[in-house]
Amino acid sequence: MEGEKETKQNDQNTLVNQPNSQPTTLSKNAKKKLLKQQKWEAKKAEKKAQMKEQKKKEGERKRTEWEEKLSSCASEEERLKLIESRRELRKERMGKRAEEKEEKTQRHRKAKEFGQNIVIDLEFADLMTNSEIHSLVQQARVWAVQLALLENNCVVGGRYRVV
């Protein structure tokens, strides 16, 4: 934004404000925090890629186990029973999830009826780390979306649709 100062770190561990160009040295503690944050950001993308690869391998492992289980069935009848039992388990899981979503929706509607207020004090926002600020913003977004959907009589859950 226009009124905000852009800060950049130079080689002498000082912050330079672009408009004023007055360098301010960082304290030892601030240097440690800055270094820690830079390391965390560097590892963030790496961890995300590792998790994605691990999830892919786990999916492949489960798929091969299922295919081996199906191929080990002696008769077509056993194979069909195995497939049907898996479908039933999935239906049960999905039914349980739907019930949990409905309970959550009812709790939110009840909370809306009795008028819960949310107050967020940002007086110490300048002392928060980026990850803490990001977490707070995400929490506020989730609540804002859920409240907006409740006001419009929409289902709150994984997929939003008008009722």
Q: What is the pLDDT of residues 94-132, one digit of tens each?
A: 999 999 999 998 988 887 777 666 777 778 888 888 888
Domain for residue 124, yes or no?
A: yes
Residue type, 60: E
Place of tokens 């301010």: 24
Confidence of residue 6 (pLDDT cuts 50, 70, 90): very low
Rounded average pLDDT over 71-90 = 91
Domain for residue 151, yes or no?
A: yes
Proportion of the chain above pLDDT 90, given as a percent:
34
Q: Which domain holds residue 109?
A: 100-163
Cα–Cα distances (Å) from 41 to 46, 48, 131, 132, 141, in that order, read 9, 11, 10, 14, 23
Domain for residue 50, yes or no?
A: no
Domain for residue 139, yes or no?
A: yes
CA nearest neighbour of 119 among 83, 102, 143, 95: 143
Domain for residue 129, yes or no?
A: yes
Domain for residue 35, yes or no?
A: no
Domain for residue 15, yes or no?
A: no
Question: Strand 7-9 vs strand 14-17: parallel, antiparallel, or unpaired?
Answer: antiparallel
* Number of domains, the chain: 1
pLDDT at 153: 64
